[in-house]
Amino acid sequence: MDAFSKCRLSPDIEALVASGHYPFYLPVEERLDDGEVVVDGRRVLMAGSNDYLALSNDPRVKAAGVDALCRLGAGNSGSRALNGTLELHRTLEAELAAFLGHEAAMVVSTGYQANLALSPLFGPRDLLLADRYIHASLIESARLGQAELRRYRHNDVAQLGRLLEGADPEAGRLILTEGMFSVTGDLADLPAITGLAALHGARVILDSAHDAGLLGAGGRGAAEHHGARVDVQTVTFSKCFGTIGGAVAGPRRVIDYLRHCARSALFSASLPAACTAAALAALGVVRAEPERRRRVLAAAESLRSGLAALGLPVTPGFAPTVPLVVGDPELCCRLWSELLREGVLANAMLPPSVPEGRALIRLSVTAAHTEAAVARLLDAVATAAERLGLVPAAVGGGRC
């Protein structure tokens, strides 16, 4: 038996490749300032980016990264624990902790690693209660930990309450959720979750990958938006902060513990200086320019109302990610292909990234998208959806 015999694509993926509607690993040749990218030599509207505040191409963020690159090199050649800690890391950690309202923070090389770094908190005598829609990195973190994992239905705080009521009183209790769910675009019910946590002596761990920098009066994320207090928070720099990297923030004793026990941080090379400096510069922009948040949230509202006017099902909310549920994976990929034909690059989300029967196109807007860009996106959706019979012909073919 050859150990590599399992290395073959599934029939569904092979069929997608053969059909010409394969929606993954499409190379982008250039990123432009106006929310467009170049694909196959053609300018298309980027409607799948997580760069919500349009900071990845901001001159200040890029200049900070270039300066750090020139002064400190392309890499640190070591882990944070040994020789890879920069003064820049310590500065960013202090600034992030203050921004998020925590005692301390630990910077790591990716947001995925930040979530894996949580695993030492999930001990053998603990009960970990997690929303069913949490990110794959959080699921892997739970598997690395030793806690008993129980999943509650997405945002079903009544079921979460029952699970807490039935928990062993001797067990440590932790609740794990995202602040803003990246696929569905809705928010966790943090007021109810933190209320249950206080009632049952549980700790709340929040993944703020998609909401830190975006939500709340100061851009601190879903917890600030709801006026809720969480115990530990993870963030990634690959969304609102325009670069790559991640961090865990929380009580100092927890962060100190993770510095010495989180294997994803201990045994990985540290975040390069350029990315660290870029994230620090982006944090400054987040604090100084709240209009960026207002711009992207207004664009998201225009997109939602426009999709609803087309007769397409739209989930309520105001997140910059808007799911367009198609259901059938093949039809979903055909819609992705038709959108690209119309000059729009979106994201096709197929099982297991989404539940079976819930394949969807995830549309997203950023602060770089003008009203004209949103109108162009809606026209493309109308045309592509009409072509596939997803909306009545009278609705497609442009908007009034």
- Catalytic-role residue among 21, 89, 102, 210: 210
- What sign does the dihedral 131-132-137-142 (CA atoms) show? positive
Percent of the chain with pLDDT over 90: 90
Q: What is the sign, positive or negative, of the torsion defined by CA atoms of 75, 76, 77, 81?
A: negative
- Chain mean pLDDT for the chain: 95
Is residue 104 scored above 90 in pLDDT?
Answer: yes
Euclidean distance between CA atoms 288 and 297, whole angstroms = 17
Which residues contact residue 142 at a Cβ distance below 8 angstroms, ignoring those fewer than 6 apart? 119, 122, 128, 130, 149, 176
Q: Is 178 annotated as catalytic?
A: yes
For 26-58, the pLDDT digits (tens) are: 999 999 888 999 999 999 999 999 999 999 999
The active-site residue out of 21, 89, 102, 135 is 135
Q: Residue 105 to residues 11, 70, 337: CA-CA distances in angstroms?
A: 45, 26, 42
**Is residue 395 pLDDT above 50, yes or no?**
no
pLDDT in tens, 228-253: 999 999 999 999 999 999 999 999 99
CA distance 330 to 346: 15
Active site residue 135: yes
Q: Which of 56, 141, 155, 182 is catalytic?
A: 182
Mark whether 102 is an active-site residue.
no
Cβ(203)–Cβ(84) below 8 Å: no
Task: Give 316 or 222, the one with higher predicted confidence.
Answer: 222
Note the pLDDT of residue 393: 62
For the segment 289-305, the average pLDDT, to the nearest whole number, is 96
pLDDT digits (tens, 9 = 90+) for 50-95: 999 999 999 999 999 999 999 999 999 999 999 999 999 999 999 9
**Residue 399, pLDDT score:** 42
Q: Is residue 250 a contact partner of residue 215, using CB atoms and an 8 Å limit? A: no
pLDDT at site 355: 87
pLDDT in tens, 317-355: 889 999 999 999 999 999 999 999 999 999 999 988 888
**Active site (annotated) includes residue 126:** no
Residue 363 forms beta bridges with which residues? 322
Would you tell me how many other CB atoms lie within 10 Å of the CB of residue 118? Answer: 27
Instruction: Judge contact between 394 and 313, C-beta under 8 A.
Output: no
pLDDT over 50 at 397, yes or no = no
Residue whose entry in the numeric block shows the structure tokens 């059909």: 19
3-state secondary structure of 365: coil
- Alpha carbons 394 and 350: distance in angstroms, whole number: 29
**Residue 373: pLDDT above 60?**
yes
Exactly one of 36, 49, 50, 270 is catalytic; name it. Answer: 50
Active-site option among 58, 178, 211, 379:
178
pLDDT at 1: 87
3-class secondary-structure state, position 325? strand
Among this protein's residues, is 207 annotated catalytic? yes
Q: What is the pLDDT of residues 124-149, one digit of tens each?
A: 999 999 999 999 999 999 999 999 99
- Residue among 207, 224, 231, 386 flagged as catalytic: 207
Task: Quote helix, strand, coil % in the chain, to nearest 5.
Answer: 40, 20, 40
pTM over 0.85, yes/no: yes
Question: How far apart (Å, rounded) are the C-alpha atoms in residues 55 and 76?
Answer: 24
